[in-house]
Amino acid sequence: MNKAIKWGLIICVGLVVLVIATLLIAPAFIDIQDYKPEVEKLVSEKTGRPFTIGDDLNLSLFPWAGVSFSSLQLGNTPGFAEKEFVNVKSFEVRVKLLPLLSKEVQVKRFILNGPSITLVKNKDGRVNWAQPEGAKDTKSTEKKKDPEPSSAGLPIKDLSVGEFLVKDGSITWIDHTSQTRKEIAAVNLKLQDVSLDRPIKFSFEAQLDKQPISVAGTIGPVGKDFKRATIPLDLDINALKKLILTIKGKVMNPGSTPAIDLAVDMQPFSPRQLVAALEQPFPVATSDPKALDRIALKANLKGDANQIAVSNGILNLDDSTLNFSLKASDFSRPNLAFDMNLDRIDLDRYLPPKSEQQPASAEKPAPKKAADYEPLRKLILDGRIKIGQLVASKAKINDLLVQIKAKNGIFNLDPLQMTMYQGNVNGKGNFNVQTQTPKSSMSLNVAGVQVGPLLRDVLEKDILEGVTTAQLNLAMAGDNPDKIKQTLNGSGQLLFNDGAIVGIDLAGMVRNAKAAFGLAQKPSERPRTDFAELSAPFSINNGLVNTSQTSLKSPLMRVVAAGNANLVTEAIDFRVEPKVVGTIKGQGDTADRTGLMVPVIISGTFSKPQFRPDLAGIAQKQLKGVLEGTEKPEDLLDKEKLEETGKGLLKGILNQ
């Protein structure tokens, strides 16, 4: 028995020695160069591309199984001016052989030197990375097998890598259709302390169009149960010496149900300087050339393939700070909830600059492609926006609060609140895209707004002053300004107290026909009509604004106006009926006063209004007075009376 064990051990040791000797001696007797042409031929047939390896191809088997070579080249298919698709200066890998038997991978060295990839798009649209016709595709001929169920962990027990380097790599993108060329050069990747149970030190550097990019930090430990592992991350990203981004956190279950829990910190940087470093024009044109010059971001991200949440978000944009949170789920039918609190922003800075050039041709522009509202119909939304100070279209708004809810293509804004120009605005709105033609409605209540500063800021015109109270109910359809004006309907009431109409002297116009006709000398001061109350109830029908009871009350005059304003054609048709009175009472005085009345006709357009006295109206009123008995016909026929009346009338009209 002892002899059997003894001889058994001798045989086993002898076999091990024989295997080791074979592994050590075999490479000395096997010339791998003899197989190089076969390898090159096989790769060429499989890829449909020319393939060559340098003459220094080496193979070792024990104690380290390894391969090394230089000058690997994989060419392009015919039809491309660039000859190379992939090029490698040299490659070397050394793996310990015996530990592989127990599923332990020990890599002594992995060095890839000078790998370069050239991606090309020809003028005909062909790309060089596509599988060429005629290449043998074993996947198409082989019968597909059902994937075998994989185990929960990695197919290895342990991993260690002594040296892992990718040196001096490059990726070049050439697009002949747009005559552009981009290059990522000087690509260097280094991994240290590669193991399953220790953090892996990670270092990546590259040059993007001669500008530096780097990523450094640690990843792991990965652990042996990769599918259910929790992998820590700590990475610092530096792009073009302008953008510095830090990502800390963890990735969970990467092999089964991937999830993330990350903290992102992007330090302040200038997007304009970043784009300038790439020698590219800035893609966004803004009215303020200094806008989009500073951005910073901090946020926590947590989520998986089904949902994501952003918390403690802080976005700095120029001199604005936005605090925000966000939750999104069910991405096929997005369910989005958010809360945004912005301290201040001037939106006018970020709008495109006004073009100073007139269109060269009077031809009608090509019809725009119909908007696709299907994504909005799928959206479920519940959000709140608060803005401390807002400038929009030059209007200054404070304490804006908007609550937005949406489902099945219907968006509701309720409440909509803001303060502006010493007053308050409250309301609600609705936007409906259930059909291809969107519909919207709005209800607003305005109280105590100073209209003078508002119009001066928005329109840059000084035309009206006073404290405003208003109720507006509007509805419209369409997604362009012309269609909206054509379908605008609604009603409302505008009330202005203790103000003035600037640029028009109604009292002077009704007393002085020369002034109404524009024949009188221009006053040294800009004319104005002060009032105690200006009330303008109105209705809108398909873009036609109508008012029949607009009234103005001032200390020396009462005015009633009626007419239409067409928002589509911008035509004006109003008749102003004044009554000059001898009192200084204003609002609330309804006593009938005597005085000469000269109605004023307002016509023309919004940009060029025209004013003229309605002399025919004067004659009709006098005739009506005779017919109603308020004036004696014999007084008009009496020569002296007629002369006195005529002089008084001319004196009143011409103010001579």
Give the Cα separation of 112 and 128 in Å (integer).
23
Of 501, 524, 515, 472, which is closest to residue 612 (Cα–Cα)? 515
Helix (H) or strand (E) segment spanning residue 579: strand 572-580
Q: How far is CA 352 from CA 34, 286, 349, 355, in A?
A: 68, 5, 8, 9
pTM: 0.75
Of 177, 194, 189, which is closest to residue 213 (Cα–Cα)? 189
Structure tokens at 61: 């088997």
Give the Cα separation of 493 and 474 in Å (integer).
12
Final residue of a structural domain among 171, 195, 219? 195
485-493 mean pLDDT: 95
**Is residue 5 situated within a structural domain?**
no
Report pLDDT for 581. 59
Amino acid at 458: V
Report pLDDT for 652. 44
DSSP state of 102: G
Report pLDDT for 559. 84
pLDDT at 346 over 50: yes
**Is residue 541 situated within a structural domain?**
yes
**Is residue 350 situated within a structural domain?**
no
Of 131, 122, 108, which is closest to residue 49 (Cα–Cα)? 131
Structurally, how many domains does the chain consist of? 2
Question: Residue 10, Cβ neighbours under 10 Å: how many?
Answer: 10
290-297 mean pLDDT: 95
Report pLDDT for 590. 46
Q: The tokens 């062909």 sit on which residue? A: 126
pLDDT at 269 over 90: yes
**Is residue 503 situated within a structural domain?**
yes
Non-local CB neighbours of 593 within 8 Å, separated by 6+ positions: 558, 579, 580, 581, 582, 583
pLDDT at 21 over 50: no
586-608 mean pLDDT: 64
Whole-number CA gyration radius for the chain: 42
Contact in structure between 48 and 41 (CB atoms under 8 Å): no
Query: What sign does the CA torsion over 312, 313, 315, 321 have?
Result: negative
145-152 mean pLDDT: 50
> 3-state DSSP call for residue 63?
coil
**Is residue 496 situated within a structural domain?**
yes
Report pLDDT for 368. 64
pLDDT at 245 over 60: yes
Give the Cα separation of 554 and 579 in Å (integer).
10
Report pLDDT for 623. 55
Contact in structure between 509 and 475 (CB atoms under 8 Å): no
pLDDT, greater one: 423 or 608: 423
Mean pLDDT of the chain: 81
**Is residue 214 situated within a structural domain?**
no
Contact in structure between 153 and 226 (CB atoms under 8 Å): yes
The size of the chain, in residues, is 656
The 10s digit of each residue's pLDDT in 382-417 is: 999 999 999 999 999 999 999 999 999 999 999 999
Domain that holds residue 537: 440-654
Give the Cα separation of 623 and 631 in Å (integer).
9
pLDDT at 593 over 80: no
Report pLDDT for 12. 45
Do the strands 64-75 and 58-60 form a parallel or antiparallel pair, or are they unpaired?
A: antiparallel
531-544 mean pLDDT: 94
Final residue of a structural domain among 170, 195, 220? 195
pLDDT, greater one: 298 or 131: 298
Give the Cα separation of 500 and 532 in Å (integer).
8
Contact in structure between 57 and 32 (CB atoms under 8 Å): yes
**Is residue 387 situated within a structural domain?**
no
Give the Cα separation of 318 and 207 in Å (integer).
28
Give the Cα separation of 270 and 608 in Å (integer).
46
Final residue of a structural domain among 178, 195, 212? 195
Q: First-to-last CA distance in the chain?
A: 150
pLDDT at 24 over 50: no
> 3-state DSSP call for residue 362?
coil
**Is residue 235 situated within a structural domain?**
no
Report pLDDT for 628. 56
Give the Cα separation of 598 and 575 in Å (integer).
11
Highest mean pLDDT among 149-158, 178-187, 319-328, 372-381: 319-328
Report pLDDT for 2. 55
The pLDDT confidence band at residue 236, using thresholds 50, 70 and 90, is very high
> 3-state DSSP call for residue 268?
strand
279-305 mean pLDDT: 93
Report pLDDT for 371. 79
Dihedral of CA atoms 291, 294, 299, 304 in degrees, nearest 10, equals: 70
pLDDT at 655 over 70: no
The pLDDT confidence band at residue 431, using thresholds 50, 70 and 90, is very high
